[in-house]
Amino acid sequence: MTTSASPGTEAGVRYDQDGPVATVTLCRPDVLNAQTPAMWSELADISRKMPGDVRVVIVRGEGRAFSAGLDLSVARGGGDSSLPELAALSPEECADRIAGFQDAFTWLRRPSLVTIAAVQGHAIGAGFQLALNCDLRILADDARFSMAEVTLGLVPDLGGTKRLTELVGPSRALEICVTGRRISAQEADRIGLATAVVPGADLSGAVSDLAAAVLAADRGAVAEIKALLAGATGRSYAEQDRAEREAQTRRLRDLLGAE
């Protein structure tokens, strides 16, 4: 059965669900899916309301781009989340407001979900960070990444810096962030940012095939594996060995019905 939650479309985000697969679509194609605080609020709301039977989340952009990043017309305007308004807050209030923005992105890391970014065209700034918060990134061959916050005198602040560093290393991550340069799909594949690169016409099919492969695996095992790997870089070998033992013990007890 397919269900769809359409109210968020007005905010520029659409949610669709087909059984255990949810698709979150940025739907402002006329501005290359440039992001606004209203979209971030909707993304965070989706995360809170998502049914527990969802196992895979696909994040995509409508039209010819994944997301051109922050909508500068909104950011420079007079709203309560514009850059001038944020700058006028106390440091604590500003950090709290940004924490709310981060909630729109960081839920994609939940161990209970496998999240897949389907990226075509530009994924700039907030768009790049949205893709980085996903577990897997399937790129069309016209995809372009850029961490462009530095061009505004800002830093990436939507949960993308740790994942970027883990994927490409601190030296390459620094170069990407301080130059804001464009990264082609081919380079993204070479340096570890892409799970796969496919012709644009094959993007939807490749993402569907990957989602099906995830769903074919045991849900409990997938969640334990995601948690194990997510924490691996912060653990010593001995700590990771222990985490593996503990995870396997939980799986054996779950599978064999131990009390």
Q: Residue 4 — φ and ψ, nearest 5°? A: -140, 135
Q: Residue 205: its pLDDT value, please? A: 97
Query: Residue 80 pLDDT more than 70?
Result: no
Per DSSP (E only), the strands in 104-238 are: 114-119, 122-124, 136-140, 144-146, 183-184, 196-198
pLDDT of residue 1: 36
Taking residues 88-114, report their average pLDDT.
95
Task: List, for residues 158-194, the tens digit of each pLDDT value.
Answer: 999 999 999 999 999 999 999 999 999 999 999 999 9
Distance of alpha carbon 102 from alpha carbon 106, whole angstroms? 6
pLDDT of 207:
98
Give the H/E segment covering residue 102. Answer: helix 91-106
In the predicted model, what is the mean pLDDT of residues 194-210? Answer: 97
pLDDT, residue 8, reads 57
Is the pLDDT assigned to residue 2 strictly greater than 50?
no
Per-residue pLDDT, averaged over 224-251, amounts to: 95
Split at pLDDT 50, 70, 90, the class of 238 is very high
Q: Which residues touch 136 (CB under 8 Å, ≥6 apart)?
A: 114, 115, 116, 117, 195, 210
pLDDT at 72: 87
- What does the mean pLDDT of the chain come to? 93
Report phi then psi at 2, rounded to 5.
-105, 130
Give Cα separations from 201 to 142, 145, 185 (angstroms). 11, 19, 15
- Asked whether 155 and 97 are in contact (CB, 8 A), the reply is no
- Residue 216 reports pLDDT greater than 60: yes
pLDDT of 225 higher than 60:
yes
- Least trusted range by pLDDT, from 1-10, 80-89, 133-142: 1-10
pLDDT, one tens digit per residue, over 29-75 is: 999 999 999 999 999 999 999 999 999 999 999 999 999 999 988 77
At 93, is the pLDDT very low, low, confident or very high (cuts 50, 70, 90)? very high
Going by pLDDT thresholds of 50, 70 and 90, the confidence category of residue 77 is confident
19: left (phi over 0), alpha (psi -120 to 50) or beta: left
At residue 94, what are phi and psi to the nearest 5 degrees?
A: -65, -45
